[in-house]
Amino acid sequence: MATFVLVHGAGDTGWYWHLAEAELRAQGHDTIAPDLPCDNAAATLDDYAGAVAEAAADRSDLVIVGQSYGAFTAPLAASRLPTRLLVLLAGMIPAPGESPAQWWGNTGCREAVQAQARLDGGQTGNDDPLITYYDGVPRPLAEEALRRGGRGESTVVWDTPWPLEAWPDVPTRFVLCADDRCFPAPFMRQLARRRLGIVADEIPGCHCVALSRPGELAGLLVGYLR
């Protein structure tokens, strides 16, 4: 039995993972989905990683999954914990010394979003979160996610250079969401190759795939253990 440590994205809560957690537990695994202290404007990236490490301190055989902005935190936690596997899900892959604020320009994300928006009539990067993040999520569930996910983000973390000198010595997989309107699939495919040297795995669904396709996501994650 593995323990999946699930790290949420920007301004969110551990609740984001609740459907995927149920699927993972049904397959015989344990889960932990801590709330990061993102609603504390003075919280540091070390505080984020510390919250994950504290939540999983008494566990072993860990699979740490970082979604979106959580990709800045998940590798730091993996470097502190007995981690079997690190998975980034539609993750903002950081480079040493790069802050989240710098990531958008350094990676070319903004240009990729604009290019995809020209192809899909402005759906990618749309101002409506129901279009950009929750496409395919049942409306009541998406509205609940919006209500819970408005916690804000630490301004300190936004401007903090990613502190590791190199990627942690942990097997790493990257999962992109094929229908992602926040981070277009072609952009993420290239980013995974460029920054991690790996070929991304793909899952159908939107940026918030743990809500739109939790069973498929859980199946993919459990499949990594075989």
Domains and CATH numbers, the chain: 3-223 (3.40.50.1820)
Q: What is the pLDDT of residues 179-217, one digit of tens each?
A: 999 999 999 999 999 999 999 999 999 999 999 999 999
* DSSP 8-state code for residue 15: G
How does the average pLDDT of the chain come out, rounded? 97
Question: Are residues 193 and 199 in contact, defined by beta-carbon separation less than 8 angstroms?
Answer: yes
pTM: 0.97
- pLDDT score, position 90: 98
The predicted model gives 75-92 an average pLDDT of 98
Q: What is the pLDDT of residues 36-53, one digit of tens each?
A: 999 999 999 999 999 999
- pLDDT score, position 150: 86
- pLDDT score, position 120: 96
Integer Cα distance of 156 and 43 in angstroms: 6
Which band of pLDDT confidence, cut at 50, 70 and 90, is reported for residue 149?
A: confident
In terms of Cβ atoms closer than 10 Å to its own Cβ (0-12, 13-18, 19+), residue 65 is buried
The predicted model gives 164-177 an average pLDDT of 97
Q: Determine the 3-state secondary structure of 46 from DSSP.
A: helix
Of 7, 8, 1, 5, nearest to 26 by C-alpha is 1
